[in-house]
Every structure is written in structure tokens, then in C-alpha cells.
Amino acid sequence: MTPCDPQSSVDTLQQAVGTAIHDINNLLLVISCSSSKLLEKIPANDLGRDTVVSIGEATERIAEITARLRTHLGGPPSTAAPRPHLAGEVTQKGTEETVLVVDDDPQVRQFIKAALIRGGYHVLEARHGPAAIAVALRHRGLINLLVTDMVMPEMTGRELADALRTDVPNLRVLYLSGLDGSADLSTQPSALDAFVQKPFRMPELLLKIREILDK
């Protein structure tokens, strides 16, 4: 019987926990976005708002727990957890730039797509790297920004960005991840790259997108 390698067991456990954190943060993002949409529709004096706000507060507590776990896995310290936002919060509007959104979670992808369309952007979407490359090849215009999850099947977000930059060297890229992906950007960093930690609030994402495009 082959003896168990303690370091290998630890690495396997860390990978499993990391994958779970990534999935949980995707779910928290969906819940936060859904709560935000509900708050925009519920009248101020409706008792249902209290329930939606409570759900938002619960997602904040869960996000804080996953942030602590991420820190134990070697990620950055905890940042502010997302909370449902109210209608009327300031967001940055687009000027019809084209954004390619790539995420293997269809709900996350659709929420980001909807927010970008409302924000004045033209949106292309794909579920993973190879599909995104096919979309980019079919698109006849300029793609101004790639918004991609870092952890996906087939190829990573970094690999996707490198592939697309073969034809578009100055492509701006915003990486998203439920884990700490900023460390992956520390090698060969580019001024055209940025990172946003999941879960996030859509106004914050729109602000970051506008910041990248205005560089």
C-alpha cells in the first residue's frame, strides 16, 4: 500500500475548498443581483422589503466567511461583501462600446450582460474560452473589453486573454474570480488588465469597467 503524502493531501483539500468557495461566491453574486432587482420593484412601504434586505444581509455574512476561508488559503484579506443596491445609485454609463462577457455560470453571465446592456454597452457572450474565441472571430467590429472569469473549463481566463490578444494586442481585460485571481496577474502584469473579486455589486463592476475603458 502506497503511503499517503501529507502535502499532497493538503493540496487536494485546498483545491477542493477553493473550488467550493468559487461556486459559493458565484451563488452569492446571483442572490445579490436578484435581491437588487427585487428592491427596485418593491415600494418603500412594502413589508416585503424587510425580507429582501434580510436576505442581502445573510449573503454579506456568508461572503465574509468565504473571504476568511480564502485568506486561510493564501488569498488577500477580506474585502467588503456585496449588498443589494437601491435604484438611483450612481453608475457609469457606456458609450456603446462592445464588451465580450465570458463565464461558465449562465446566471452570472446573464446578470452581467443585463447590467451592461442597461449601462449602454453592446454585449457579446460566451460560456468558455473556445466559445469566446469563436464569437470574437465571427464579430466584425472592435471588441473594446473582455470581461472573463478566471476559472473555467477548457481554458482559463488568462489563457483566453492571451489568445485574443494575438489578434488584438491592446485588448483591455477585466478578470473576475470567486478565488483570489490577482496573484495570477502578478506575473507579466499589463496596464490593460484589472481584477474584481466575486461576489461584487453591479455598480462597482460598472465603475471598474468604465475606469478600464477610459484609460
Give the predicted TM-score (pTM) of the model: 0.65
Helix (H) or strand (E) holding 100: strand 98-102
User: What pLDDT score was predicted for residue 29?
Assistant: 65
Give me the domains of the chain, ranges plus CATH numbers: 6-72 (1.10.287), 98-213 (3.40.50.2300)
Predicted confidence (pLDDT) per residue in 65-124, tens digit: 566 655 555 554 444 444 444 444 445 566 789 999 999 988 889 889 988 998 999 999
Side-by-side strand order, sheet with 172-177? 122-126, 98-102, 145-149, 172-177, 193-197
Position 194 pLDDT exceeds 80: yes
Predicted confidence (pLDDT) per residue in 141-180, tens digit: 999 999 999 989 889 999 999 999 999 999 999 999 877 6
124, 80 Cβ separation under 8 angstroms: no
Residue 190 pLDDT level (bands cut at 50, 70, 90): confident
97, 144 Cβ separation under 8 angstroms: yes
Average pLDDT of the chain to the nearest whole number? 75
Q: Which residues contact 94 (CB under 8 A, 6 or more apart)?
A: 116, 119, 120, 121, 209, 210, 213
First-to-last alpha carbon distance for the chain, in angstroms, is: 58
| Bridge partners (DSSP) listed for residue 123 | 99
Helix and strand counts by DSSP (H, E) for the chain: 6, 5
